[in-house]
Amino acid sequence: MLINLQSILLINKMITNLQFKALRKFFQSYSSKIQELENYKTKFEEILKKESSPQQLDNLIDLYHEIYPVFEKELWESDYFDDMLKLYQNLFQEQELLIQESKFGSNHKKQYDFILSIPIADRPEHLRGCLESIYQLCSLYSYGGYTSSETGNGFFSKITVVIVEDSKEPQHIEKDIELALEYTQKGLRVHHYGLEEQYQLMMEIPEGIREEVSSIIGDPSTEKFFHKGQAVTRNLSYLKALQLTSLDEMPNKDDVLFYFVDSDQQFRVNRTTANGDEYVYGLNYFYYINHLFCNKDIAMLTGKLVCDPPVSPSVMSGNFLDDIIAFFEQLSEQKPEGKCHFHPVSKVKPDDAAYHDMAHLFGLGTLRKTYDYCCSMQTKHDHVACLKTFSNRINYFFFGEHLTRKTYFSHMGPFTDITPARTIYPGNYITTFDGLKYIIPFGKLRLRMSGPTAGRLIQSEIGERFASVNLPMLHARTLQSDFKDEYRPGVEDNLNHIDLTDEFERQFFGDLMLFTVVRLCKSDIDINDYNVKILSDTFAIVEEELLELYEQKHNNVLLKCDALTELLNNKKFWWNQNDELTDSMTQVHQFIKSVQYNFDEQSNAYQQIQSEQNRQTRIKKMISSLLAYRNDRDAWDKMLVLLAEKSEC
């Protein structure tokens, strides 16, 4: 493109007007603390001295990019986080103004558009939290800029959100539609992708292909169209995302990144402070993801979740019991009226191995046996109050809260660093159009561990083009406003019936599927050569191993329940000598009862796993799904190409 005088003048005017307030403030306030800053400052002054040109603009944009890792290191390690965070966000806003201007010059800095898909099933309040976090992220970091309009209804230029409806209740659907409107008015482009429209888009797929992909997106003739499950709903959202890229006002499919997010998550992370935990908008997801896809050959990128990782209580009971025993042992050494002692200055952050009673199955070595309870009370209090708070929350374990093992965001180096992935986090992954091929399959089997299983298959197919980045999303059960309604403490009947049978069954067979796939991927057998014999043999080996492990685990959990009960009932400890604590102790005993109810040999859960007949039925279905995988995927790929061609007409 010819660089004309007018664009040079525009650049000159822009650079003069910008003043670089944030950048200058950073140099001024932090040069004494960060050694490298002096060099960057000199570099900045030198660029400014040059004549205005698109090159000058580019150099400035790059300078911000080079400074970010230095800033981030200081931000996450220093004691002045709040001051720095505001400045950090301002730096990105400033850089974004330069990027916007650079589009008039010769060196267009590529910025992908993002289409975010959020499936929602009868939880409008989760959706609100998620949308609000996207809105905040856009406002605070300005990725892609803002398109103003004369009518006043401007919007964030590069972000589109698709709410993928999976609710049953009409009033919830109504609420989701209202939310779409509310956030559109605020400047987010939000589409509500309703049940009727899902049906119509499915019917637009030619009949033959539609039948072939029914294991992936369901069958419109039998589908109820609500509560289809996360996997099917998410896959259906691909159709809408592709349709959007065919619209005139939207970019071409090759300029779009497809971002898949769960509605109970938010675009922020947690950190610990002297005043308790806080949730912050500390990561510029869109900026870094864009950068990664522009500079590396990635088809699919995934990030983790922090705070309460969605791990089934059925594989965490043993770990949690260890932590509770440790907590009561520590309590026994403290005076009830003594100042609460469960507020460590620096918390021990759990690693991946902390989230599965059988972590060694994943090749993960457990570094610690127990994790300390970190008390969340902020006003002055004693151990009686601490114990009361703890027992009040203990049963939330069955609904996904990890009282003793919350994960925290940890800064581990530049966000431009990636590592090869082997697990896909279904609520936090991003693909190019090409990456849409790699779905999370087997949704109909309703197994847990679908992310790690899909991850292994994708990894074996595309290797390092499937990558992981340290840009986790927040999954905090306590932030979910309806969380407490699910559980009613004190209602004894309810408590006695915390039944994990379904969870257990799905976890056991999910583990069986996963470790069979792991074994198959490690062997040299090509997926096209899978047959019933190979699969049955592999399933049989893994089944035997797992059954033994599950049995050991069951016994261990029951033994731990006994140990905890003995500790609790010991009359010499102060928690048995204080009437104020009667209710609290009842809550802890109820927790143990629920665990025993589910782990006992007579429990439904255990019976389901022990039943030879149930296992055979399950394995048969898993074998058919694995055998069909390659064909299903081929049909899916064919459908994507067809839809893309159609959208380009």
Q: Which parts of 385-444 interact with Zn ion (CB under 5 A)?
A: 386
Smallest distance, Å, CB 394 to Zn ion? Answer: 15
Contact indicator for 308, 480 with CB cutoff of 8 Å: no
Binding mask 356-375 for Zn ion (x = CB under 5 A): -------------------x
Task: Count the residues of the shown chain that bind Zn ion, applying the rule CB under 5 A.
Answer: 5
Smallest distance, Å, CB 382 to Zn ion? Answer: 8
Q: To which H or E segment does residue 223 belong?
A: none
Closest-by-Cβ residue to Zn ion is 375
Name the residue nearer to Zn ion (CB basis): 206 or 344: 344
Report phi then psi at 259, rounded to 5.
-115, 125
Query: Which alpha helices (DSSP H) does 423-468 contain, by range?
Result: 450-462
Name the residue nearer to Zn ion (CB basis): 353 or 377: 377
**Which region among 148-156, 278-286, 292-300, 382-390 touches Zn ion (by CB under 5 A)?**
382-390
Kindly report each contact of residues 52-56 with a partner whose C-beta sits within 8 Å and lies 24 or more positions away, as own/partner: 52/8, 52/9, 52/11, 52/12, 52/15, 53/3, 53/8, 53/11, 53/105, 54/3, 54/7, 54/11, 54/102, 54/105, 54/106, 54/107, 55/107, 56/11, 56/15
Cβ-based neighbour number of residue 197 at 10 Å: 16
Report phi then psi at 261, rounded to 5.
-135, 145
SS (H, E, C) 257-278: EEEEECCCCECCEEEEECCEEE
Q: Is 340 in the site for Zn ion (CB under 5 A)?
A: yes
Smallest distance, Å, CB 341 to Zn ion? Answer: 8
- In what side-by-side order are the strands of the sheet with 113-120? 189-193, 159-165, 113-120, 256-261, 428-431, 300-302, 466-469, 418-420
Smallest distance, Å, CB 404 to Zn ion? Answer: 14
Smallest distance, Å, CB 323 to Zn ion? Answer: 16
Smallest distance, Å, CB 28 to Zn ion? Answer: 40
Smallest distance, Å, CB 329 to Zn ion? Answer: 17
Smallest distance, Å, CB 403 to Zn ion? Answer: 13
**Which region among 76-84, 129-137, 379-387, 590-598 touches Zn ion (by CB under 5 A)?**
379-387
Cβ-based neighbour number of residue 196 at 10 Å: 10
User: Rounded distance, CA 539 to CA 519, Å?
Assistant: 9
Contact indicator for 499, 612 with CB cutoff of 8 Å: no
Smallest distance, Å, CB 339 to Zn ion? Answer: 9
Smallest distance, Å, CB 317 to Zn ion? Answer: 25
Q: Which parts of 249-288 interact with Zn ion (CB under 5 A)?
A: none
Ramachandran quadrant class, 207 (left: phi over 0; alpha: psi -120 to 50; beta: rest): alpha
Name the residue nearer to Zn ion (CB basis): 375 or 513: 375
Smallest distance, Å, CB 601 to Zn ion? Answer: 38
Structure tokens at 334: 């403290």
Q: Which one of 63, 377, 525, 549 is in contact with Zn ion (CB under 5 A)?
A: 377
**Which region among 327-335, 344-352, 380-388, 440-448 touches Zn ion (by CB under 5 A)?**
380-388
* Dihedral sign for Cα atoms in the order 101, 102, 105, 110: negative
Q: What is the CA radius of gyration of the chain?
A: 27
Residue of 576, 589, 567, 563 lying closest to 492 (CA atoms): 589
**Which region among 101-109, 233-241, 333-341, 522-530 touches Zn ion (by CB under 5 A)?**
333-341
Q: Which parts of 166-225 interact with Zn ion (CB under 5 A)?
A: none
Contact indicator for 68, 84 with CB cutoff of 8 Å: no
Q: To which H or E segment does residue 196 belong?
A: helix 195-203
Smallest distance, Å, CB 396 to Zn ion? Answer: 17
State the residues that interact with Zn ion by CB under 5 A: 340, 342, 375, 377, 386
